[in-house]
Structures are given as structure tokens and as C-alpha cells.
């Protein structure tokens, strides 16, 4: 989970909401990193899933969603929201 947290922190440092054309380009890059990191978290969780337990010593309850899957869903959702927010937000006119 440390790599997922690192990806989230780095992407969130880019302030994934741009206010002008240049800032939006970097925000899109940050949003893409969020989506890729979330996809990697989901894939890593699915690939490391233990085999189904059959037999007398199996636990009675197995959680349907694990932490890696939830973290991946949150990261992907944040990235998609950031892209949609940037696409619909008007550029701010700054005086220089």
C-alpha cells in the first residue's frame, strides 16, 4: 500500500484542478497519475488474491472488498473527477 499512498501524495501535490491553460495541463498529468496508480492498486490486489478456501478449516466470513481494491477505486474516481472538473472549468483571467 505504500506505493499507492506515494502515488496519491505526488498526484495531489499537483493540485489536480487547473485555473489556466498551463495549470490545466499539469492537472491533467496529475489526474492521469491518479488513474494509473488506482489501476495498479486494483490490479495488484486482484493478482495477489489468495485462492478460495475449501475444506473444514476455512473461515466463515471472507470480506468481498479488500483495502487495495477500495484504495484503487478511490484513486481512479478522484482522477476521473479531476479530468471532468478541468474540462468544464473556465480559465481564470489573470492580470500581469
Its sign, for the CA torsion 33, 16, 85, 78, is: positive
Q: Model confidence over 13-51: pLDDT tens digits?
A: 544 566 777 777 888 888 898 899 899 999 998 898 877
Number of domains in the chain: 1
Q: Is this structure's pTM higher than 0.75?
A: no
pLDDT of residue 36: 92
User: Does residue 96 fall inside a structural domain?
Assistant: no
**Which has more confidence, 90 or 40?**
40
Is 56 domain-assigned? no
Range(s) of the domain holding residue 71 = 2-47+66-88
If you average pLDDT over every residue of the chain, what do you get?
79
Give the DSSP letter string of 2-40. HHHHHHHHHHHTT-SS-SSHHHHHHHHHHHHHHHHHHHH
Express as a percent the part of the chain with pLDDT over 70.
80
Which residue is associated with the grid cell 492521469?
32
Whole-angstrom Cα distance, residue 43 to residue 46? 5
Amino acid at each position: 500500500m505504500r506505493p499507492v499512498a506515494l502515488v496519491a501524495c505526488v498526484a495531489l501535490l499537483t493540485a489536480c484542478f487547473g485555473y489556466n491553460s498551463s495549470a490545466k495541463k499539469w492537472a491533467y498529468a496529475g489526474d492521469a497519475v491518479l488513474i494509473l496508480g488506482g489501476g495498479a492498486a486494483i490490479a495488484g490486489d486482484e493478482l495477489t488474491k489468495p485462492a478460495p478456501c475449501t475444506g473444514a478449516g476455512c473461515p466463515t466470513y471472507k470480506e468481498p472488498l479488500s483495502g487495495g481494491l477500495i484504495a484503487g477505486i478511490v484513486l481512479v474516481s478522484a482522477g476521473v473527477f479531476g479530468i471532468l472538473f478541468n474540462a468544464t472549468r473556465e480559465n481564470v483571467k489573470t492580470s500581469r
